[in-house]
Amino acid sequence: MSLTKFIINRCQEAQNDLRTTKELIGLALTENDEDAAWEAVTVLHFRGNREVFEAARKLCESGNSKERKLAADILGQLGIPDRTFPDESLAVLFKLLDNDTNIDVLNAVGVALGHINDPRAIEPLVRLKKHPSEDVRYGVVFGLLGHENELAIKALIELSSDENEDVRNWATFGLGSQINTDTKEIREALWQRIDDNNDEIRGEALVGLAIRRDERVVSHLIEELSSECVGLLAIEAAKEIGNTKLYPALMQLKKWWEVNDDLLEEAISSCKGEPEGK
């Protein structure tokens, strides 16, 4: 099923769902099964009408942090795929961001702002980049993804060296492949992650440098491609940089690597040719 058809079907299902907004919110708050709880939230997302917005807005004023978190979860994707009440949702989320102190709420607000993807969220999010909670810092990173704004990029550079792996990983991902900006500072931040102990973070750094045609990455890619455990991101980076020095390692890898044959063939095609120096 295509993504478009899936979205159309989900919209129709949400509109035909006989449960009231109040019932869905109650389910989201009380259901122990996380998948079932989030399914109720998803119905509210696709329904996306004024009634849902007003219910979420009222939840933001609750003294119960779980209810305020749910409000952020609802507002972040309200009306998908065609967003409804974006400006009003932003105003409510900004108020939470400025006044709430609960870690779960602040995390949810950051994620919600990331989904809305409005540049007006950058400055208030950046103010929380040094928050003592890793969950809040993760929300900040998610909220800043995809913004080419200098302030957002500077914050992501800082957070790409965060002590928490999830924060560091998503910040590196944001710098590496979610923006087109290419600066010395971005490359240096990615280069700092090239030997990260986390395989995924290292892979995101490889991809980011390869996209920017940074030749320093080639020797590291040869090492990655020749190892006993080769990840998708290393193959993606090889495809992006298209350097012929990687061709022999890719052909050797073809003998046993079966994770994603199409991606491997694309990388081989990109790097095909006589290796330099031969």
Whether residue 7 has pLDDT greater than 80? no
Q: Is the pLDDT of residue 278 over 50?
A: no
Q: How many CB atoms lie within 10 A of CB 213?
A: 12
Residue 6, judged by CB atoms within 10 A of its CB (0-12, 13-18, 19+), counts as: exposed
pLDDT digits (tens, 9 = 90+) for 82-121: 899 999 999 999 999 999 999 999 999 999 999 999 999 9
- Domain ranges, ordered by start, for the chain: 1-86
Q: Give pLDDT tens digits for 128-153.
A: 999 999 999 999 999 999 999 999 99
8 A C-beta contact, residue 28 and residue 52 = no
pLDDT tens by residue, 187-197: 999 999 999 99
Reply yes or no on whether the pLDDT at 12 is more than 80: no
Percentage of the chain lying above the pLDDT 70 cut? 95
Q: How far apart are CA 120 and CA 154, in angstroms?
A: 16
**Strand, coil or helix: what is 82?**
coil
Q: In the prediction, which pLDDT does 64 show?
A: 97
Quick check: 159 and 168 in contact, CB under 8 A? yes
Report the C-alpha gap between 164 and 243 in whole angstroms: 33
Q: How confident is the model at residue 4 (pLDDT cuts 50, 70, 90)?
A: low
